[in-house]
Structure 1
Amino acid sequence: MSCEHLICARCSNPVVDGRCPTCREARSELHRHGPSVPPSVVLAGLVALFFVALVLQRVYG
């Protein structure tokens, strides 16, 4: 979602302009990007852990 088409309920201006504190907060909330890991990397890690578990089970089981 982008803030280009959002209108602030407080000042009735586009949120992308950031004219009031409410606009600026909404804009920063929409553009906040935390550290995210692509799903393919998570899946590859899970597959690797599964194979390690299989090998350990075969060696010690």
Structure 2
Amino acid sequence: MTCDHLVCANCAGRVSDGRCPVCRAHRARLQEEQQGMFAGLSPAALLALLAGLLAVVVIFRQALA
């Protein structure tokens, strides 16, 4: 989730503008949450990555058998 479209309940401004301390605190919290390793990937991309990894494991098991 991005803070571009969020509206602050305290000042009624966009959170991305950071007009009040509440906006700035919420924007900082959202930025901290988005810094994970797979945070930029969509759920579909994560499923595709998992399916690809599973396919590689199956191929290697068959090659070694």
TM-score normalised by L of structure 2: 0.55
Per-residue deviation, 1:17: 0.9
Counterpart of 2:23 in structure 1: which amino acid?
C
Root-mean-square deviation (CA), in Å?
2.5
Alignment of 1:22-41 (within 5 A): 22-31=22-31, 32-36=34-38, 38-39=45-46, 40-41=48-49
Task: From the CA coordinates, give the structure whose radius of gyration is larger.
Answer: 1
Query: C-alpha deviations, 1:24-58, integer Å up to 9, x for none?
Result: 232234442422264333322221111222333x2
The percent of aligned pairs where both chains have the same amino acid is: 35
TM-score normalised by L of structure 1: 0.56
Counterpart of 1:4 in structure 2: which amino acid?
D
Counterpart of 1:13 in structure 2: which amino acid?
G
> Helix, strand or coil for the counterpart of 2:59?
helix
Number of equivalences: 57
Indicate the structure whose relative CO is greater, using CA pairs within 8 Å and at least 6 residues apart.
1
Q: Structure 1: which 5+ runs fail to align?
A: none
Q: Alignment partner for residue 52 of structure 1, among 56, 60, 63? A: 60
